[in-house]
């Protein structure tokens, strides 16, 4: 027996859900969804759980991560209950639920905390740069060190425990007892989805027009490789022409593609861009800033202007710190991670069910 929690609706509304209670359970969204299958029907089930406030059911479900917000469900919904937006909100809610620190939920729900955090980091960076008395070169060196340690730290302290929690909620608690070999067998799923977003191609729109998927794909590749280029190839200090050009291409790709995405959100061209939340904006704007400031910093280095225009690096460093300490561990960046793991866990559950049969 499940207990109804009518207050959940208010809670999920804080995560961006809008009008989902208008749902009259016709099932049109599930049927029109190109990604919904008989093994996992959504979004109506998730809307229903949200209406009834069945948190345990939602917490143990991977379905919100299987949704790519193609938008058909929302545009075809006879009551305009925004099923796609609810799925998006559930992903935010799940992100908050997986996060052991509780910061994620705080940041999603309270704009002021989010902005406060961002400002605090800005102050910290500016303070560090201008009041630590360190030379510009040392600062830039610390910048590089920060990047390395921040990634390692965030991953070890926040992301890894959160993924383990996700695994616990969705696999262990529902009593899926999969043998280790299944975990290995399913591993390919994790990487394929992480790097290609293959499932996104299932959307009806994407089938006809692959541009959006392609842009998304290039963006992911550029982002990951720029990360690699700056951290391991030390782009800002390298003298290798190849690495320098590689960095330029990667960072340019990031800020160009994010510009396209931002304009889509402004113009609200498709269903998924109709209801942008602050967290969506922060994500895309900061990614854009990451791309453009790193491009600018390297350009200034090459033009030998970095010392005179050091404030550019200050901006870049600020953006980097905010990105690494807020958006990556607690913001939309984690969706990328959780989604890939959801695909992986889903595969494990599927394989395990096959084994049982």
CB of 31 to other proteins, least distance (A): 3
When binding is defined by CB under 8 A, the residue of 38, 239, 241, 354 that contacts other proteins is 38
101 binds other proteins (CB under 8 A): no
Select the residue interacting with other proteins from 37, 209, 237, 308 (CB under 8 A): 37
Preceding peptide of 63 cis, ω within 30°: no
Concatenating the DSSP letter of every residue in 106-135 gives: HHHH-HHHHHHHHHHHHHHHHHHHHHS---
Of the pair 73, 296, the CB lying nearest other proteins is at: 73
Whole-number Å distance between alpha carbons of 44 and 109: 24
Among 11, 16, 44, 324, the residue binding other proteins under the rule CB under 8 A is 44
Taking alpha carbons only, the member of 328, 296, 212, 323 closest to residue 261 is: 212
- Which three-class secondary structure state does DSSP give residue 357? coil
Nearer to other proteins, 36 or 251 (CB): 36
Q: Cα torsion for 50, 99, 63, 28, to the nearest 10°?
A: 40
| Interaction between residue 75 and other proteins (CB under 8 A) | yes
Q: Does 27 bind other proteins (CB under 8 A)?
A: yes
Q: Does 21 contact other proteins by CB under 8 A? A: yes
Say how far apart CA 248 and CA 258 lie, in whole Å: 15
Number of other residues whose CB lies within 10 A of the CB of residue 138: 11
Q: Return the DSSP state at 270.
A: S
Residue 14 interacts with other proteins (CB under 8 A)?
A: no
Judged by CB under 8 A, does residue 52 bind other proteins? yes
Binding of residue 307 to other proteins (CB under 8 A): no
Stretch touching other proteins by CB under 8 A, among 50-58, 184-192, 220-228, 294-302: 50-58
The site for other proteins (CB under 8 A) is made up of: 1-4, 6, 9, 19, 21-32, 36-38, 41, 44-45, 48-49, 51-52, 54, 75-80
């Amino acid at each position: 027996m499940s207990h109804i929690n009518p207050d959940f609706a208010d809670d999920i509304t804080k995560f961006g859900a809008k009008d989902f209670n208008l749902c009259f359970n016709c099932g049109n969204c599930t049927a029109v969804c190109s990604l919904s299958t008989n093994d996992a029907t959504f979004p109506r089930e998730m809307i229903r759980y949200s209406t009834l406030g069945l948190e345990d059911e939602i917490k143990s479900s991977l379905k919100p991560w299987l949704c790519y917000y193609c938008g058909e469900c929302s545009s075809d919904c006879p009551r305009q209950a925004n099923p796609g937006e609810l799925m998006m909100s559930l992903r935010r809610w799940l992100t908050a639920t997986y996060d052991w620190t509780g910061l994620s939920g705080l940041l999603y729900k309270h704009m002021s905390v989010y902005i406060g955090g961002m400002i605090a980091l800005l102050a910290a960076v500016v303070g560090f740069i201008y009041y630590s008395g360190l030379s510009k070169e040392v600062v830039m060196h610390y910048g590089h060190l920060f990047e390395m340690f921040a990634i390692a730290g965030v991953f070890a302290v926040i992301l890894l425990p959160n993924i383990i929690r996700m695994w616990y909620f969705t696999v262990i608690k529902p009593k899926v007892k999969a043998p280790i070999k299944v975990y290995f067998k399913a591993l390919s799923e994790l990487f394929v989805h992480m790097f290609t977003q293959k499932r996104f191609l299932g959307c009806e729109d994407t089938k006809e027009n692959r541009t959006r998927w392609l842009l998304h794909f290039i963006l992911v590749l550029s982002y990951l490789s720029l990360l690699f280029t700056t951290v391991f190839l030390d782009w800002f200090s390298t003298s290798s022409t190849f690495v320098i050009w590689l960095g330029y291409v990667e960072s340019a790709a990031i800020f160009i593609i994010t510009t396209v995405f931002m304009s889509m959100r402004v113009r609200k061209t498709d269903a998924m861009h109709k209801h942008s939340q602050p967290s969506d904006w922060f994500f895309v704007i900061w990614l854009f800033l990451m791309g453009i400031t790193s491009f600018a910093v390297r350009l200034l280095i090459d033009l030998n202007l970095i010392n005179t225009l050091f404030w550019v690096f200050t901006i870049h460093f600020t953006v980097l710190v905010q990105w690494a300490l807020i958006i990556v561990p607690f913001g939309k960046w984690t969706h990328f991670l959780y989604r890939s793991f959801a695909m992986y866990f889903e595969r494990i559950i599927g394989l395990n069910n096959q084994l049982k049969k």
